[in-house]
Amino acid sequence: MPRSNIGAWRAFSLTKQADISTAATVDTLLYFEGEPMEPEVDNFYVNDQQLTGELLPTQTRLLTKKFAGKHKEKAYPHLVALFASMAMGRDTVTAVGATTAKRHRLELDKTIVELPTRTMIENDGFLQNKYTGIGCTGFTLSGERGGFVEFEAELVGRGQEAVDATAKPARVNEGYLTYAECNLTRGGTFDGDAITGGTSLSAPLINFKLSFKNGGKGVHHFGDSSTLAGSLRRGQKYEMEFEAEIEIEDASHRNALLAGTEYVMSIPMVGGVANGAANYSIIPILPRVVYREAKKKVNDGILAVGAKFQVLVDPAYGGFILDVINLQAASYLA
């Protein structure tokens, strides 16, 4: 008989795993859009190129498994911090003033080689399985006028699967962020803590997309017959893409492109009150960017520029910082 996915759910461990093969307690529920995930065949051998005296293959063997997929959902601080911490590698936690809210400063950690991993449970409405050793190879934050901020995480895993009976955990009570809570700023000064000054480009902003990838992949070890990845490792270089479509109000975009002007840029996304004067927030900070493209275009009869930026490393503050403010007190990499 047909099986419905009406009761499907997905959850992750809030703490990272001690090692790639040891599961952690799964305790935070996430909603999701798209298809369920499960391990797949990575390398399947068949001797279809050998001359065997037959017209079809005679031998097969499963060599390696893989786990790859995407988690897509509307953005809120806990969700973004959970996956961004795995992709970026460092989470420094501080109190926000005299409130009970915490700021999670997520940064790139050059010292790590092995990606942090979490445990995932997925119930597809019919079967429930646990997947141990899930890493994040990158994520995208995007938004457009009149809509929600969208978040998508790219996942890779060991391929370790087990039938599970864990009870469905609770979801963190945080609201989705929308276009109305975003403010794109260009310029100003970053002192390592906050940006002062600068120009708001929020009113003419039509849409934006910020993507980060660490190039992570699974490594299969010699002597290991499990067919599972023995480690998840970052790539040699990271990739960042930042682009925005902005209504043309002056010639500053093109002038900055031709002059090679460098800017501090950020996209504060500030939601409702978390506690006291602290709001639930997602604040991407790019300490040093330069225009690499500023093509003129027309959007619904209005002149606009399709701006693309090159993200550069700042000697003092690095290339990418993501501040997340919510009520989660412990480090996402504890």
At 260-311, the pLDDT tens digits run: 999 999 999 999 999 999 999 999 999 999 999 999 999 999 999 999 999 9
- pTM value? 0.95
- Map residue 161 onto helix, strand or coil: strand
Say if residue 238's pLDDT is above 90: yes
List, for residues 109-138, the tens digit of each pLDDT value: 999 999 999 999 999 999 999 999 999 999
In a domain, 191, yes or no: yes
In a domain, 293, yes or no: yes
Burial label for 331, CB within 10 Å (0-12, 13-18, 19+), is middle
State how far the Cα of 224 lies from the Cα of 326, in Å rounded to an integer. Answer: 42
In a domain, 241, yes or no: yes
- pLDDT value of position 5: 87
Q: Structural domain tally of the chain?
A: 1
CB 279 within 8 A of CB 271: yes
Burial label for 144, CB within 10 Å (0-12, 13-18, 19+), is middle
Say if residue 315's pLDDT is above 90: yes
In a domain, 257, yes or no: yes
Q: If you search the block for the tokens 């997309």, which residue do you land on?
A: 209
In a domain, 150, yes or no: yes
Provide the residue range defining the domain that includes 72.
9-43+62-326
| Arithmetic mean of pLDDT, 105-110 | 97
In a domain, 124, yes or no: yes
- pLDDT value of position 3: 85
In a domain, 136, yes or no: yes
Contacts of 205 (CB under 8 A, 6+ apart): 145, 182, 184, 244, 245, 246, 247
- pLDDT value of position 264: 98
List, for residues 173-211, the tens digit of each pLDDT value: 999 999 999 999 999 999 999 999 999 999 999 999 999
- pLDDT value of position 1: 81
- pLDDT value of position 30: 96
In a domain, 57, yes or no: no
**Listed residue (266, 285, 281) closest to 324, CA to CA:** 281
